[in-house]
Structure 1
């Protein structure tokens, strides 16, 4: 089956509904296994590299690589990261340009197709049979779906219970006006209603992408109208509703005196400590939050995009298979390719690897056989929304690799009032009409 580029990864959009009960650089100069003709020489370790684009689990990924090597002494896995300011696709491209591509590269789902000619065909791998949904491009499985993730407003249950004078029920917030009223109650209780992170990837590929995810025509068709110049965001109800909510978030932002200084770590700490009731982010934030509050009670609240309480978007989280890993076939040796396959197998089939995926990486695996119990509250919350059918597309899977940087910067300008909504809409439209 031929899939369009923007469709890659979207086949796993409803993955959890099928997968549950889920709880939820190698180059041509790298070492390879060598043995003498009589078998009396000691084999050298096969060295492979793993480009990790989930910076929040860099330490955990490095530790996982060490655990894998303990179980597979003949293989060394070196975990490298994307450089500051580089998108995953830029980092992968620069490694190829230098002649030292990663043996395994983790990219955003929408970028895998750019490397299709460099990716090893993984269709025959055992783990393909454990996928809850197919993960194909042009009839082949060329990437390993690393995680099912979702995002929305993350809140501290204790803080909201205090603000409403009882047990806070997220189902009571189904409009932008209701969110505004809730923020007033939180402020009256003496706490900050929200901390808004300034990260370009969060504002661009996550928040702004909600405007694409909630279009009646669907993500792909709407993006086509943006590319053609037909769509006009200034007149679009979903875009305007989403930005109305963002204006409310800006109004009550704990960091509004210096919005661009608010980084991911601060958003996590503010909510974990109870200094702010909520922030906008995804289930991956739990790793950072639990550094401050390992036993905190956190959950998701959908981002309302209108004052119509019946809108599906107002009760749904963006959920999808996000990060994908491909194995290089152009400069990695057969030994390195085999070693990379073993590493991916280990994550899927080995009990230690399975546990690391769920309880160290804090992700929801894309594989039916991993029944490890979810241990963190954000993953549990995400699972509950998905099981209830309250999900919308993870539209960041459909956008080009530079979307987060270009339009994330536009959103940052809006955050600090350097552009108004009309100017923001024009910047978004200009970006899409330039996409080839």
Structure 2
């Protein structure tokens, strides 16, 4: 393989976790050095000087770091095609490992900040002083406006979203059809009681009703963070709620929304395919269980098609539905699919030359506008792509399911604002959620641990 795949050496990079920790933006973002300041201009100046800019005719080498694991082959394919269409630009691919954020910061500590990085919005927000503003770039005209909200800070766009991801209960339609004795319609699940009724019917067929993957990123980021989402209200209401926890005025255990989602979580745990070993945490095994009909549903996101695609048979049908948090059938948030633009392509302006940054812009433009790129991404990601000119077919039934919720107007922005949930919430609070799932603590202790976590944060911004 011609491309170089870097492995990142963490030895000697002391204090990196401090750089990546999640307090205020000031505490989590490494202070700009003189070189960073020199490379950084105001948003208006940068937008004006880069709009319609062209890369230098001189050969240039850039680096691309991704936190999207399991997609190395996809990105190697895209890089090869990009280089063939952009002679003079060489892209060095940096594959992510387990400690994705720490690896990213380790590159900066070694003065090797990647030219282009695919990161979570919160990571970009925390490190925006490093980034090149994208406001005014022509390529943004091809991006769905709604998808830019979590990539925009104080009116400035800092990243281009990768894809739209739906989060909820994946379901095996054949299993659910057998359970209900007909054609299963996910829109009939409007309350927790509706879901329990479905679970009972699935179990009556001899199949486990649902599956929880006992890993911190799934439970701490995707499940827990629903409790700060649309059920709380609009973005202002969500931020106000979180700030009230940070300030000590509110306790999680007193939150109706938190308790509602945890009541549903308890029910999922009761019917869990993995309940005898709840922290086994093997995504591949759980994907196989759903694909083979050993369980009827699985809490995950539509990205799970990556693990399932090679396991399903012709004619097998799968879909995605929201997790109801109450027994109020009139609560529309019970029927809205949490959808996130969970990762974005950003460009470093602190440790890359102007020529490298312009080449990075060309690479992101290729990712977001090239038809071959779209076909590869649609096939390998299995998710809806937020690009206006995209004609690629989504093979994934889970991605199609998310797209159907989007087109029906039945989605809720999972993030609200990228600064709402700190970037280590999946790690810290995910550990507490795993303890709770295993029975090592009760809900009161769980809520207290989450309160303590929030008490160490600075108040959030809109």
Give the conservation status (yes or no) of the 8 Å contact 2:369–2:387.
Answer: no
Give the conservation status (yes or no) of the 8 Å contact 2:383–2:396.
Answer: no
Match of 1:415 in 2: 437
1:366 and 2:386 equivalent? yes
Give the conservation status (yes or no) of the 8 Å contact 2:384–2:402.
Answer: no
Give the conservation status (yes or no) of the 8 Å contact 1:155–1:277.
Answer: yes
- Rounded Cα–Cα distance in structure 2 between residues aligned with 1:228 and 1:81: 39
Give the conservation status (yes or no) of the 8 Å contact 1:50–1:78.
Answer: yes
Find the residue that maps to 2:153 and give its secondary structure.
coil
Number of residue-to-residue matches in the alignment: 395
- Report Cα offsets for 1:229-258 as digits up to 9, x if no partner: 112221211111111111111111111111
Match of 1:32 in 2: none
What residue ranges of structure 2 are gaps of 5+ in the alignment? Answer: 1-23, 26-56
Match of 1:46 in 2: 60
- Report Cα offsets for 1:409-435 as digits up to 9, x if no partner: 110001101111011111111111111
Give the conservation status (yes or no) of the 8 Å contact 2:382–2:398.
Answer: no
Give the conservation status (yes or no) of the 8 Å contact 2:166–2:302.
Answer: yes
Find the residue that maps to 1:193 and give its secondary structure.
coil
Match of 2:371 in 1: 351
Match of 1:424 in 2: 446
Give the conservation status (yes or no) of the 8 Å contact 1:318–1:391.
Answer: yes
Find the residue that maps to 1:431 and give its secondary structure.
helix
- Rounded Cα–Cα distance in structure 1 between residues aligned with 2:403 and 2:391: 13
- Rounded Cα–Cα distance in structure 2 between residues aligned with 1:370 and 1:122: 21
- Rounded Cα–Cα distance in structure 2 between residues aligned with 1:392 and 1:351: 29
Give the conservation status (yes or no) of the 8 Å contact 2:220–2:431.
Answer: yes
- Report Cα offsets for 1:386-419 as digits up to 9, x if no partner: 2222222213843111111000111000110111
1:96 and 2:108 equivalent? yes
Give the conservation status (yes or no) of the 8 Å contact 1:219–1:395.
Answer: no
Give the conservation status (yes or no) of the 8 Å contact 1:205–1:404.
Answer: yes
Give the conservation status (yes or no) of the 8 Å contact 2:290–2:297.
Answer: yes
Q: Which residue of the other structure, out of 276, 299, 310, is the alignment partner of 1:257?
A: 276
Give the conservation status (yes or no) of the 8 Å contact 2:69–2:97.
Answer: no
- Rounded Cα–Cα distance in structure 2 between residues aligned with 1:320 and 1:333: 32
Q: Which residue of the other structure, out of 136, 142, 167, is the alignment partner of 1:151?
A: 167
- Report Cα offsets for 1:30-64 as digits up to 9, x if no partner: xxxxxxxxxxxxx9963322211121423322322
Q: How does 1:301-320 map to 2 (within 5 A)?
A: 301-320=321-340
Find the residue that maps to 1:371 and give its secondary structure.
coil
Q: Which residue of the other structure, out of 141, 144, 147, is the alignment partner of 1:129?
A: 141
Match of 2:84 in 1: 70
Give the conservation status (yes or no) of the 8 Å contact 1:357–1:364.
Answer: no
Structure 1 residues 190, 208: CA separation in 2 closer, same or farther (over 3 Å shift)? same
- Rounded Cα–Cα distance in structure 1 between residues aligned with 2:168 and 2:384: 16
Q: How does 1:189-268 map to 2 (within 5 A)?
A: 189-213=205-229, 214-216=231-233, 218-268=237-287
Give the conservation status (yes or no) of the 8 Å contact 2:383–2:400.
Answer: no
Find the residue that maps to 2:127 and give its secondary structure.
helix
Cα RMSD between the aligned structures? 2.2
- Rounded Cα–Cα distance in structure 1 between residues aligned with 2:137 and 2:58: 25
- Rounded Cα–Cα distance in structure 1 between residues aligned with 2:388 and 2:448: 44
Match of 1:113 in 2: 125
Query: Normalising by the residue count of structure 2, what TM-score does the alignment of the two structures yield?
Result: 0.81
Higher relative contact order (CA 8 A, sep 6+): 1
- Rounded Cα–Cα distance in structure 2 between residues aligned with 1:51 and 1:294: 34
Find the residue that maps to 1:150 and give its secondary structure.
strand
- Rounded Cα–Cα distance in structure 2 between residues aligned with 1:47 and 1:361: 26
Query: Normalising by the residue count of structure 1, what TM-score does the alignment of the two structures yield?
Result: 0.85
Give the conservation status (yes or no) of the 8 Å contact 2:384–2:399.
Answer: yes
CA drift of 1:294 comes to 6.4
1:386 and 2:400 equivalent? no
- Rounded Cα–Cα distance in structure 1 between residues aligned with 2:322 and 2:245: 25
- Report Cα offsets for 1:331-375 as digits up to 9, x if no partner: 223332222211111112221112223222223222222233332
Q: How does 1:253-332 map to 2 (within 5 A)?
A: 253-293=272-312, 295=314, 296-332=316-352
Match of 2:190 in 1: 174
Give the conservation status (yes or no) of the 8 Å contact 1:62–1:78.
Answer: no
CA drift of 1:321 comes to 2.0
Q: Which residue of the other structure, out of 34, 47, 58, is the alignment partner of 2:72?
A: 58
- Rounded Cα–Cα distance in structure 2 between residues aligned with 1:281 and 1:242: 15
What residue ranges of structure 1 are gaps of 5+ in the alignment? Answer: 7-42
Find the residue that maps to 1:152 and give its secondary structure.
strand
